Chain A
Amino acid sequence: MNGTRTAESATLARPRQNLILVLFLLPPGLYILLFFVLPILVMGTYSFGCIDSSYRIHVTGSLQQYLHFWTTPVYPRLLLKSLRMAAEVTLLCFLLGYPTAFLLAWVVRKRWRNFLLACLLLPSWTNLLIRTYAWLIVLGENGLINYTLTRLRIVQEPLSLLFNNTAVVTALICVYLPWMVLPIYTSLEKIDRALLEAASNLGAGALQLFRRIIFPLSVPGVVAGALVVFVPAIGTYLTPMILGGTRGVMYANAINNQFQILNWPFGSAMAMILLVIVLGGLSIYFRFFRIEDIFGLSYRR
C-alpha cells in the first residue's frame, strides 16, 4: 500500500498526467453513467407513474405504486420470503464452504491446490440454465435419486423432491458454493504460518488456534463470500422458476411478471424497493468492512 501512495504523488507531479487522467476517466465514467446510472433513474421515474387502459405509462409523480406494494400483503411477504431464502443459502454455503476452503488451503498438498481450486470453479463455466435443468433429472420422479432409492428398495414410491423450496435452495448452493469457497480460501492462504507456530509454542491448543487466530483472520474472506452469495441469491430468477413450482415464486419472478403484463410502473417500483434494500444493506455492511479489504485484496495474488 505504501508503495502505491508514493507512486501516486510522484506521478501526479507531472503536468501531462492531468491530460491522461481525463482521457482515462472519460470512457469508463461515461459508460457507467449512460448504461447503469441513467437506466436506473429512468426506471425510478417510471415507478412514480401509472398506466392507463391502453398500457401507456404516465409519470405523475404519485406514490400510488409504492402504497399499493406495502398495502397488499402478498408483496411484502414475497420480499421477506426471498430475503429469508437468500440468507438460508448464504448460511449453508458458509457452513459447507468454510471446511472446504480450510482443507484446500491448509491440508491438501501444495501442488494439488491450484488444480483443485480450478476444478471447483469448472462447473461455473457450464451454462447456469443447463445446470439448473440438470437438477430436474436428479430430483425428478424418474430421476437419479428416486431411481437409486427405489432400486435399492429403500423407498417403495418415488419421493416428490421437486417443486419446493428445498430443491431451489439445493440448486442455489450448488451454484454459489464455489463463490463462497474462493474468497475464504484466499484469506486463509494469506495467514502467516509463523503466527500459528508462535501461538502453538506458547501452548495454544488446536481449538484455540482456530478461534483466536485462524478464524478472525479469515473474516474478510467470509464477508466477501457472504456478499457474493447473498446478493445474487436475492435476485435469483431462473432457479425458482424451474425448480420451485408454483409455490416457489420469488421476488425477481414477481418483478418479471409485472413487466410481462405491461404494468411497468409497479414492476419498476418493486425493482426500486429491492434496490434500496440491497443498497441500504450494503452501506451498513461497508460501515464495518472496508471495500478494499473485501475485494481489492481478495483477488490479489
Chain B
Amino acid sequence: MGPKARTGRAAWRWVGWFYLPLVYLFVFLPSLIVVLMSFNTSRLSFFPLEGLGLGWYRKLFANRIMWEAARNSLLLGLATMVLATVLGFLFAYLIVRFRFPGKELLTSLIMAPMLTPGVIIGVSLLSYYYSLKIPRGLGTTLLAHVVLALPYTALVIASRMQGFDVRLEEAARNLGASEWTVLRRITLPLLWPGILAAALFAFTISIDEFIVTFFVIGERSVTLPMRIYSGVRFGITPEVNAMASLMLVFSTVLLGLALTRQARK
C-alpha cells in the first residue's frame, strides 16, 4: 500500500474511533439501562437512582411464577433447538446435494417464515389450532417456534455444507463405507460448527419469541417473555430487570466461549 493510502487509512481510523463508540452506545443503551436499574433500590425505574443494592435479585430468586416461566422458556428453547436443527439439517442436506422436482418451491416455503411478519404466523396458527380443536399450550407453542427457527437452521447448515469438500465423502464411499457411516464419520463431524451455530440460533429465537407465542400459548402456560409482558402491564418491576440482566450475562458468557473457541482454532 502506498503512503497516500496509509494516511487515508489513518484518517479513517480516527473516524472509526469517533463513530463506532456512538453506534455501540446507542445499540447497548437499553441493555445497559436494564442492568443499571436491576441494582436500583427504588421500585420506580426513574432517574436519579435512589441507591444500589441486590434486593431485586433476592426477590427474583423467591419468585415462583418467574421461575416456572423461566423453566418453560428453557424447555421450549431446548426442544425447539433439537427439532429445528434436525429438520434444518435434513433440508440443508437436500438442497445442497440433490436436485428434485419442486425444489425451488419447497425452498421458498421453508424460507418463507423468516420473511413473514410474526403477527401473520401467530394468527394463522391460532386459526388452525382452533379449527382442528387442538388445545393450546406449550406443545402448540413448540410447533410454532420450530416453524420460526427452521429457516435459520437450514440456512446456516446449508451455507456450511456448501463450503466443504464432497470428495471426502466420495472417497469414503469408494473405500466401502455405507451411507450411514459416511454420514456419521465424515459429514456430521465436518458440519459440526454449522450445526452448533444453527442450534444456538434456534435456541435464541425461541427464548426471545413473543408475538407468535402470544397467540398460540393459550391461558394456562406462560413463558418468560409472556410473564414479563403481563408483569409490565401493571408497571415494570425491577425484578424483571434482574431477570433480564441474568439473561444478558448468560448470553455474554455463551458468546465469550464461542469466540475463544474460534480464536483458538
The answer to whether A and B interact is: yes
- What is the 8 Å Cβ interface bit string for chain B, positions 79-117, against chain A (1 contact, 0 not)? 000000011101101101111100000111111110111
Is B147 located at the chain interface by the 8 A CB criterion? yes
Beta-carbon contact of B210 and A129 below 8 Å? yes
- Complex CA gap A18/B89 in Å reads 18
Nearest chain A CB to B13 CB, angstrom units: 6
Q: Is the CB of A256 within 8 A of B20?
A: no
Contacting pair B90 A27 (CB below 8 A): yes
Cβ contact within 8 Å between B113 and A36: yes
Among A1-9, A61-69, A161-169, A212-220, the stretch that binds chain B is A1-9
How near does chain B come to A205, taking the closest CB pair, in angstroms?
A: 10
Q: Is there a chain A Cβ closer than 8 Å to B217's Cβ?
A: no
Distance in Å from the Cβ of B58 to the closest Cβ of chain A? 19
- The closest CB in chain B to the CB of A103 belongs to B16
B117 near A274 with CB under 8 A, answer: yes
Cβ–Cβ contact A35 & B162, under 8 A: no
Contact across chains for B259 and A118 when beta carbons are under 8 A apart? yes
Residue B20 contacts which of A103, A125, A271 (CB distance < 8 angstroms)? A103
* Chain A, Cβ-Cβ closest to B154: A28
A-B CB contacts (within 8 Å), total count: 274
Q: Is the CB of B156 within 8 A of A299?
A: yes
A267 neighbours in B (Cβ, 8 Å): 123
Interface size of B in residues (CB-CB distance below 8 Å): 101
Which chain A residue shows the least CB distance to B18? A103
CA distance A46 to B48 in the complex (A): 52
A289 CB within 8 Å of chain B: no
CB distance from B236 to the nearest CB of A (A): 5
CB pair A35 B146 closer than 8 Å: yes
State how many angstroms separate the Cβ of B148 from the closest Cβ of chain A: 10
List the A side residues contacting B128 at CB < 8 Å. Answer: 35, 38-39, 42-43
Given contacts A35-B144, A278-B117, contact A28 B211 (CB under 8 A): no
What band does the interface of chain A fall in when counting residues whose beta carbon is under 8 Å from B? 35 or more
Q: Is the CB of B228 within 8 A of A129?
A: yes
- Alpha-carbon separation in the docked complex, A206 to B163 (Å): 33
Q: Which of B5, B47, B240, B252 contacts A144 (CB 8 A)?
A: B47
Q: Does A54 contact B (CB under 8 A)?
A: no
CB–CB B30/A134 < 8 A: yes
Among B108, B160, B210, B215, point to the contact of A259 (Cβ < 8 A): B215
Select from chain B the residue with minimum beta-carbon distance to A109: B13
Q: Is the CB of B124 within 8 A of A25?
A: no
- Of all chain A residues, the one with the shortest Cβ separation from B46 is A142
Q: Is A268 a contact of B123 with CB atoms below 8 Å?
A: yes
A138 near B33: Cβ-Cβ < 8 Å: yes
Docked-complex contact A129 and B229, CB < 8 angstroms = yes
Pairwise interchain contact B30-A43, C-beta atoms closer than 8 A: no
A270 to B37, CA, bound (A): 39
Name B262's closest neighbour in chain A (CB-CB).
A114
Would A301 and B160 count as touching, CB distance under 8 A?
A: yes
Q: Which residues of A contact B2 (CB under 8 A)?
A: 200
Q: Contact flags (1/0) for A132-144 with B, using CB distance below 8 Å?
A: 1111111010111
Q: B48 touches which one: A36, A96, A108, A147 (CB < 8 A)?
A: A147
Contact A131:B117 (CB < 8 A) given known A8-B98, A122-B251, A296-B158: no
- A-B pairs with the 7 shortest C-beta distances? A235-B117, A134-B30, A39-B128, A125-B251, A147-B47, A7-B166, A142-B46
8 contacts between A and B (CB under 8 A): A7-B166, A28-B90, A42-B124, A127-B247, A147-B47, A177-B27, A291-B108, A297-B159
Q: A40-B124, A144-B47, A301-B163 are in contact. List 9 more A-B contacts (CB 8 A).
A: A7-B166, A27-B90, A39-B124, A126-B34, A127-B208, A131-B34, A174-B27, A291-B107, A301-B160
B residues lining the A interface (CB < 8 Å):
1-2, 5, 8-9, 12-13, 15-16, 19-20, 23-24, 26-31, 33-34, 37, 44-48, 86-88, 90-91, 93-94, 96-100, 106-113, 115-121, 123-128, 131, 143-144, 146-147, 150, 154-156, 158-160, 162-163, 165-166, 170, 179, 204, 208, 210-211, 215, 224-225, 228-229, 232, 236, 240-241, 244, 247-248, 251-252, 255, 258-259, 262-263
